[in-house]
Amino acid sequence: MLVTGASGLLGRATASAIRDAGHEVRTFQRRASGVQGAEDLRGSLTEPADVARAVAGMDAVVHLAAKVSLAGPPAEFAAVNVEGTRGLLNAARAAGVGRFVQVSSPSVAHSGDSLEGTDAESADPEHARGEYARTKAVAELLALEADAPDFAVVAVRPHLVWGPGDTQLVARIVERARAGRLPLLGSGAALIDTTYIDNAASALAAALERADAVHGQAYVVTNGEPRPVAELLAGICRAAGVRSPAWSVPPGLARAAGGMVERFWRGEDEPPMTRFLAEQLSTAHWFDQRRTRADLAWTPAVSLDEGFRLLAASYAR
């Protein structure tokens, strides 16, 4: 089984979960994955020859590789997230792959308003916020359009994945809190679902096993424990030993500032604010997990509180 993007936190955890279930695993990414016991193949999604080598002899694919960023040239997002996915789908079908799990994001169906108790609504590139969300929405639609009786495609959208070793969500929160640059937007009362890393990985492994029965469907995956955003930020900060946000910014002001940053940001690192980030921190987004759990025969094993304890232990080490 092939796992793309296994050098990232979720890709590495997913490849390990599939390996631990007794499957032979090949990983495919630009740098070493570090997954013990896996065949580690390096290459690029944008190189057809690399992709053909990656899928050769595989019976299933879990596709996580993507350009993930709050900003950047639109052409880069399109090349990796859209054309890279298109090429991988074509190569997988040509190689006789029978199951394909497209790892997507709830942002593909988020137009800026609150999402409260919703299921996996249709991906909507036209209204998705930012190049990452837009191109992931296009990629999900491409994947689901490729679904066929002999090529079972499932789209899974893990929401805000975090845990020890996370260089995206957790590291950015901690870095900004340590520098005193992490405000709450508004009261911090908006309810948000997140997903502990072990749960996200086990859900993707479950989707792979259940693909023949649930193909053609999209699923949002979360811990199913929505918490106020202020509580989530405080839990992560407490685990890392840094101060929780002690000041707030009106959400409307943050969105306006994010829009200005997007227009003029030319830095190499992540921008301090974007409209998408402001919306994510000030609007509710939590999801009904009943269909996901029933169809995938899956439930999360690690609660949020246990996740915070594990995160604190990792920082203590």
Residues 225, 299 contacting (CB under 8 angstroms) = no
d(CA 102, CA 300): 20
Annotated catalytic residue, options 132, 196, 219, 315 = 132
Residue 140 CA to its chain's centroid (Å): 13
Q: Show Cβ contacts of residue 47 under 8 Å, excluding neighbours closer than 6 positions.
A: none
| Count of Cβ atoms closer than 10 Å to residue 141 Cβ | 21
Alpha-carbon distances, residue 1 vs 25, 54, 147, 208 (angstroms): 5, 10, 18, 10
Q: Torsion angle of alpha carbons 153, 159, 162, 168, nearest 10°? A: 90
Q: Read off φ and ψ for residue 153, nearest 5 degrees.
A: -110, 130
Q: Which residue has the tokens 């946000």?
A: 245
User: Is 132 among the catalytic positions?
Assistant: yes
Helices (H), 21-168: 48-55, 74-77, 84-94, 131-145
Catalytic machinery residues? 132
